[in-house]
Amino acid sequence: MLVPRLKLGIAGLGRGFMLLLPTFAAHPGIRLVAAADPREEARRQFRDDFAATTYAEVADLCADPDVEAIYIATPHQFHREHVELAAAHGKHVLVEKPMALSLEDCQAMIDAMRRAACWLIVGHSHSFDAPYLRTREIIDSQDFGAVRMISALNYTDFLYRPRRPEELNTSQGGGVVFSQAAHQVDIVRLLGSGHVKSVRAATGSWDPARPTEGAYSVLLTFDNGVFANMTYSGFAHFDSDELCGWTGELGRPRDPDQYGCARARLMEIQGPEEEAALKNTRTYGAGLSLTNSQPQDTAHNHFGFVLVSCDGADLRPVPHGVQVYAHTRRFLEPLPRPEIPRREVLDELIGAIRHDRRPIHTGEWGMATMEVCLAILESAQNKHEVMLSHQTSVPDPVCYDKTSD
């Protein structure tokens, strides 16, 4: 039986929407029917691209009877308000990471969606990416025994990309812990297979001109005995894409000769207003549209170097599959080239709504990830280990399934 396409509304036509735009446009199970954004140029572009309804206010989008589910990609501090609005109108929700900036807000979002009897999924995070899901499948197969240790590191130019002032203010959700650790924590939790028990962390804020956390290093312990170390730096020196064959985070080839371009570009900018204006040129409706946002991925998305140490092998998710380092041989478990980038996000959303299939990235999952992120900041500030109490396990087993209808 033919399953009708999911009628999706978009709350916020900013950078998060731009990253998923090729996925929304190409996925056979999705139809974009409405959007809300305060910028008239973005609303005009959305109407031109999708012949859809637009609103200036998220509340009006939530009240639209033609909308079944809403992708909330508004700034972090508005996620709770907008999820509660969607719940009040009986809409399913895909909310962008980070889920919220406090555990209180996360719990309120979960409660609102539960009362509405609607699905709440948190993403996009890189734990949706096919190489990590395939690694988890290999772990579930028990072919290489139990997971013992996980190492994850990512070095980028994150802090030196054009930013609005609030993106350099930790109290407003800025810095790499809120924006980037949510990816890395999600991946490590997916592969670690259990509840995170404790967090011990240090963070680095080393540039007075960018006064927020630009780096962190974290030790996680799990209740099943697994331990993991995570390192991230956004200070635009070493680039860990070098360890991934110069395949970028979004699956596209990188040019190593472009070294230093992020910092060089910022040196030409005069003040925060000009920097914010430069960032706005990378948003939908300000020169970017469906036409110049077509899929260009040649490999799967990734989030730097990840290595999972099991009893019988080390497993390394890479942009083209999973590299297996077993006792006496080394081999690649290949993955086919992605036809639709990041489609796993929408597959999970559609699977939940149309087929009542339990998703991985539930509200409870998102809250558990945010508990770890908040513990990173607390541990670094107070210089002690933080014990956790809001964790949830990975569904067992994880099934990498593509929804084609």
Report yes or no on whether pTM surpasses 0.85: yes
User: What token pair was written down for 29?
Assistant: 């199970």
Rounded to whole angstroms, how far apart are CA atoms 405 and 389?
38
Q: What is the CATH number of domain 6-126+340-362?
A: 3.40.50.720
β-bridge mates for residue 220, sequence order: 199, 228
Where on the phi/psi map is residue 383: left (φ > 0), alpha (ψ -120 to 50), or beta? Answer: left
Q: What is the pLDDT along the chain (405 residues), one digit of tens a residue?
A: 678 999 999 999 998 899 899 999 999 999 999 999 999 999 999 999 999 999 999 999 999 999 999 999 999 999 999 999 999 999 999 999 999 999 999 999 999 999 999 999 999 999 999 999 999 999 999 999 999 999 999 999 999 999 989 999 999 999 999 999 999 999 999 999 879 999 999 999 999 999 999 999 999 999 999 999 999 999 999 999 999 999 999 999 999 999 999 999 999 988 888 888 878 777 888 878 888 877 665 899 999 999 999 999 999 999 999 999 999 999 999 999 999 989 999 999 999 999 999 999 999 999 999 999 999 999 999 999 999 999 998 865 555 455 444
Residue spans of the domains in the chain: they are: 6-126+340-362, 129-333+370-387
Rounded to whole angstroms, how far apart are CA atoms 114 and 87?
9
Minimal CA–CA distance to 130: which of 325, 294, 345?
Answer: 345
Rounded to whole angstroms, how far apart are CA atoms 125 and 134?
16
- The answer to whether 124 touches 342, Cβ cutoff 8 Å, is yes
For 129-333+370-387, CATH number out of 3.30.43.10, 3.30.360.10, 3.40.350.10, 3.40.630.30 equals: 3.30.360.10
Alpha helices for 213-307 (secondary structure H):
261-267, 271-280
Rounded to whole angstroms, how far apart are CA atoms 120 and 125?
14
User: What token pair was written down for 92?
Assistant: 């399913």
Rounded to whole angstroms, how far apart are CA atoms 47 and 33?
9
Rounded to whole angstroms, how far apart are CA atoms 203 and 297?
32
Rounded to whole angstroms, how far apart are CA atoms 278 and 281?
5
β-bridge mates for residue 155, sequence order: 233
Q: Encode burial over 280-301: b for 16+ CB neighbours within 10 A, e otherwise.
A: beebbbeebbbeebebebebbb
